[in-house]
Chains A and B, each alone.
Chain A
């Protein structure tokens, strides 16, 4: 029986037509889980787009002045007030965790169990640090500055509402990612992907592709943060 060889397929625009005109799979050589994650992320993109477009509408239509971001998000360090300091650190940590995630995926495909696991753990800790700093930021805004979802002293009240809702929704995404990173780190250290141990819930085998799929999710969450960063802190 002739074997399926992805290298022999047509490339470029011809390849596109071939793939979509062919049988079995529209995305050749792409495992189901990975295709699913891409489509899910597309759907999730629409969620975040709706949030951010709503924010733009609110900001454009409110009659009360919109708060000045670098004032709201400033930190006073050693007596000098530095705008956006905490956010800069948060963003740096999150983007770095994307880097460690990419390295974990690489070691996963090399079946280097130890290093893959450690880098997953590093990513998880990066994510955890991010969520922790976000909790710090929230508590500063709530307890120190008196910002509430229904009120804020700096100006339009929609600012507080959108800020807590959107960063909260993003923070939830990061937290879910962190939980899965810990679970997958454990799976990798235990060697589930090498021994073909079956999943607790699904009772299905899984392999290192799962790390890449988790990586897709993690990079997406980071990318979304870049947009949230731009819309809340820079605009």
Chain B
């Protein structure tokens, strides 16, 4: 890959590098455009670890908070599975509690765990390090972003303790049922949910502006956009999507809160309940669905794109080979992001839209398969003839590719209107989206944690526990979701509290019990993983510097693990992309991004 650098042709400036001395013309990198960032230096424990402005600490705070709330989501799923598998043995979950569990499980996992973990957690930790910045561009706003997120999480948890409990409207919160009596949590629970989501959006906007501007405006010398690791491309594009998609959710939340609290009728049609006509009328429930899914579909890619990016980097590093088709990968990420804004109504095929809408949205939906397939081919081609190290991050990445292909193919089924209509609201849909945006991104989360844990703590995670974690999670996930596809095909409807003796379930009872047992085992394994994380923090095997022999900047900081300000006195100067592994002619197995061409004269491949 050749990257023509315009400055090389202009030849006007003196060719000097950061060292100040003479540097060969091939090493030329444009001069610094702006003075170094001024940082806030914490003086007390509180400003250093609690109200901290260092993006790395904020990233860890985000990740820990998201994991904590995610554990609640996990435990809720156990309750649901026990109810579905063994409704007679475990009867502690009533119908209302079941719906509340479903709702909170979905909302927590999608927004408070995955979005916060990928963008707030990995974004904060990795963006400044990987683009060669000292910190996020607005550290103070970044700190407020985390605390806003924490408040949103607390409001969400508070909804468990109000009269009526949390909302049980399903994670899509469709009105009018979400705010009418009869739905659990229709009094205070739904209000707290909407408030929590609004706070999340506000908090995220603060963080998101930071991520976007850091990537666009605060890269180090030589770090062109096309030299950024794909991790950054994924997180950056996802953040842009989030900044444009969350407004729709925010507006929907405000309108529904008003419907609920002061009796407006934005989403409320004429309704008779208990034999009486409600005061409301004239509103459009479909409007909410449009607003919600205008947010909801990009949300899928807000979770998926960072996963795409991270997995590309992990595969490349652990297969000791450059990523296949880097530019294609970047454009695929951008195109997927752009397309994700014009596919939202494929979630609404059975909402009663004009049939031509379904035709349009089915077409756009299927077009997304093209860039996504490009990415899958490129991951596989990166592995092809690579020097594959079956480390735990690599295992999880391989697991991701398989799972993502699986979930993507069922997506092709559901993207077609005529196949979607009969499969709509069956377990096939549940299996599809858990595969594609539950298990697949989680595989990447695990890969990323095993990959970057040494950077964050200076220690490795326990390998044995890690292997156990991988195999049980991987095989277990298939044990859970493969049978679910079948249940969907035979017509088992989702969202049903109990279907033990129903005609749908004639052949599915045993399968349902099997799924429940698998889900319990997989869930339990995640606690082993948590145990691994916490014990390895102080007991784990010490990691040497750059244990995976990676090229990107975060592994090459003067202090290991990196400290406040990231790069010591001088910011690094970047000369190449982060994928120079096994370069022909070079005597080094890998060439880090900051190595100048003159230091590796024999390397035969372009530096890009």
What residues make up the interface of A, taking CB atoms closer than 8 Å to B?
1-4, 8, 10, 18, 20-30, 32-33, 35-36, 39-40, 42-44, 46-47, 49-51, 54, 57-58, 61-64, 149-150, 156-158, 161-162, 165, 169, 201-205
Query: Is B282 in the interface zone, CB < 8 Å from A?
Result: yes
B29 within 8 A of A: yes
Residues from 10 to 62 in B contacting A, C-beta threshold 8 Å: 12-14, 16, 20, 29-34, 38, 40
The 8 Å CB contact of A39, one of B6, B212, B227, is: B212
Question: Is B40 a contact of A204 with CB atoms below 8 Å?
Answer: yes
Considering the complex, give the chain B residue whose CB is closest to the CB of A45: B247
Chain A proximity mask over B214-236: 1 for CB below 8 Å, otherwise 0 = 00111111111111000000000
Q: Please name the residue on chain A nearest to B39 by beta carbon.
A: A204
Given contacts A3-B31, A36-B209, A46-B248, whether A161 and B217 have CB atoms under 8 Å apart is no
A105 to chain B, nearest CB (A): 21
Q: Does residue B213 face the partner (Cβ distance < 8 Å to A)?
A: yes
- Tell me if B244 and A42 are in contact (CB < 8 A): yes
Q: Are A63 and B255 in contact (CB under 8 A)?
A: no
Known contacts A2-B13, A24-B30, A158-B265; is-contact A36 B287 (Cβ 8 Å)? no
How far apart sit A66 and B523, CA to CA, in the bound complex (Å)? 54
Q: What are the residues of chain A within 8 A of B247 when measuring CB–CB?
A: 43-44, 46-47, 49-50
- How many B residues are at the interface, by size bracket? 35 or more
- Expressed in whole angstroms, the minimum distance between the Cβ of A31 and any Cβ of chain B is 8
15 A-B residue pairings within 8 Å (CB atoms): A4-B31, A23-B29, A23-B221, A23-B574, A24-B32, A25-B34, A25-B219, A32-B213, A35-B213, A46-B247, A50-B250, A158-B282, A201-B140, A202-B40, A204-B40
Residue in A2, A4, A30, A64 whose beta carbon sits within 8 Å of that of B217 in the complex? A30
Quick check: A62 and B291 within 8 Å, CB to CB? no
A residues near B20, Cβ cutoff 8 Å: 1
Interface status of B205 (Cβ within 8 A of chain A)? yes
Q: A39-B213, A149-B263 are in contact. Are A18 and B254 (CB under 8 A)?
A: no
The chain B residue with its CB closest to the CB of A51 is B251
Q: How far in angstroms is the closest Cβ of chain B from A22?
A: 6
- Give the docked Cα–Cα distance between A178 and B557 (Å): 44
> Which 10 pairs across A and B sit closest by C-beta, in order of nearness?
A46-B247, A2-B13, A161-B264, A50-B251, A47-B247, A4-B33, A150-B263, A202-B140, A32-B137, A43-B243
Instruction: Assess the A149–B264 pair: CB atoms within 8 A.
Output: yes
A27 and B284 form a contact (CB under 8 A): no
Which B residues are in CB contact (< 8 Å) with A205? 38
Distance A162 CA – B283 CA, assembled complex (angstroms): 11
- CB of B279 closer than 8 Å to a CB of A: yes
Q: Across the interface, which residues of A come within 8 angstroms of B218, CB to CB?
A: 24-25, 32
B453 interface contact, C-beta 8 A: no
How far does the alpha carbon of A39 sit from the alpha carbon of B281 in the complex, in Å? 37
**Inter-chain contacts of A61 with B (CB < 8 A):** 284
Q: Which residues of B contact A (CB under 8 A)?
A: 6, 12-14, 16, 20, 29-34, 38, 40, 137-138, 140, 205, 208-210, 212-213, 216-227, 243-244, 246-248, 250-252, 254-255, 258, 262-266, 279-284, 287, 290-291, 294, 574
A63-B140 CB under 8 A given contacts A46-B244, A161-B258: no
CA gap between A24 and B210 in the complex, in Å: 15
| Residue in B16, B30, B226 whose Cβ sees the most chain A Cβ within 10 Å | B30
Most chain B CB within 10 A, of A40, A50, A149, A205, is at: A50
Q: Which of A21, A57, A156, A165 contacts B258 (CB 8 A)?
A: A165
> A39–B251 Cα gap in the complex (Å)?
18
A22 to B216, CA, bound (A): 11
Cα A165 to Cα B223 in complex, Å, equals 45
CB distance from A190 to the nearest CB of B (A): 21
Known: A4-B34, A35-B216. 4 other contacts (CB 8 A): A4-B30, A22-B224, A39-B209, A51-B251
CA of A187 to CA of B486, assembled, Å: 67
Whether A36 contacts B225 in the complex (CB less than 8 A), given A50-B248, A54-B266, A156-B282, comes out as no
Nearest opposing residue in chain B for A161, CB measure = B264
Out of B30, B250, B265, name the residue touching A157 (CB < 8 Å): B265
Q: Which residues of A contact B265 (CB under 8 A)?
A: 150, 157-158, 161
A40 touches B209 (CB 8 A): yes
Interchain CB contact under 8 A, A1 and B209: no
Provide the residues of chain B in CB contact with A156, threshold 8 Å.
282
Q: Is the CB of B137 within 8 A of A36?
A: yes
B4 CB → nearest A CB, Å: 9
Does the CB pair A1–B16 fall under 8 Å?
Answer: yes
- Complex: A62 Cα to B267 Cα, angstroms: 12
Q: Are B33 and A25 neighbours in the complex by a CB distance under 8 Å?
A: yes
Are A26 and B216 in contact, CB atoms less than 8 angstroms apart?
A: yes
Contact A40 B205 (CB under 8 A): yes
User: What residues of B have a CB within 8 angstroms of the CB of A36 in the complex?
Assistant: 137-138, 209-210, 213
Provide the bound-state CA to CA distance between A203 and B212, in Å. Answer: 23
Q: Which residues of B contact A50 (CB under 8 A)?
A: 247-248, 250-252, 291, 294
Q: Are B6 and A18 in contact (CB under 8 A)?
A: yes
- Determine if A150 and B40 form an interchain contact, defined as CB atoms under 8 angstroms apart: no
Determine the chain B residues whose CB is within 8 A of the CB of A35 once the complex forms: 213, 216-217
Q: A28: shortest Cβ distance to chain B, in Å?
A: 7
Residue of A nearest to B245 (CB): A46
Closest to A21 in B: B224
Bound Cα distance from A20 to B218, whole angstroms: 13
Shortest beta-carbon distance, A148 to chain B, in Å?
9
Task: List the B side residues contacting A149 at CB < 8 Å.
Answer: 258, 262-264
Contact B287 A23 (CB under 8 A): no
Partner of A27, one of B217, B223, B243: B217
**Measured between alpha carbons, how far is A51 from B290 in the docked complex, in Å?**
12
Q: Which residues of A contact B216 (CB under 8 A)?
A: 25-27, 35
A56 to B140, CA, bound (A): 39
What separation, in Å, do the CA atoms of A162 and B254 have in the docked complex? 11
A21-B138 contact in complex given A28-B33, A51-B251, C-beta closer than 8 Å: no
Complex-state Cα separation, A25 to B220, whole angstroms: 9
Shortest CB distance B163–A (Å): 24
CB distance from B175 to the nearest CB of A (A): 13
Quick check: B251 and A58 within 8 Å, CB to CB? no
- Chain B residues with Cβ below 8 Å from A40 are 205, 209
A27 to B254, CA, bound (A): 34
Q: Are B140 and A64 in contact (CB under 8 A)?
A: no
Nearest chain A CB to B77 CB, angstrom units: 32
Q: Determine the chain B residues whose CB is within 8 A of the CB of A169 once the complex forms.
A: 254
Closest B residue to A10 by beta carbon equals: B6
Is the Cβ of B266 less than 8 Å from the Cβ of A25?
A: no
User: What residues on A are CB-neighbors of B31 within 8 Å?
Assistant: 1-4
Question: Chain B nearest CB: distance from A170 CB in Å?
Answer: 13
Q: Given the complex of chains A and B, what is the CA–CA distance between A50 and B344 in angstroms?
A: 15
CA–CA, A209 to B154, complex, Å?
A: 37
- The answer to whether B243 and A23 touch across the interface, beta carbons within 8 angstroms, is no
Please pick, from A57, A64, A161, the residue contacting B284 in the complex, using a CB distance under 8 A. Answer: A57
Q: Closest residue of chain A to B574, judged by CB? A: A23
B523 CB to closest chain A CB, in angstroms?
Answer: 36
The distance from the CB of A201 to the nearest CB of chain B, in whole angstroms, is 6
Whose C-beta in chain A lies nearest to the C-beta of B33? Answer: A4
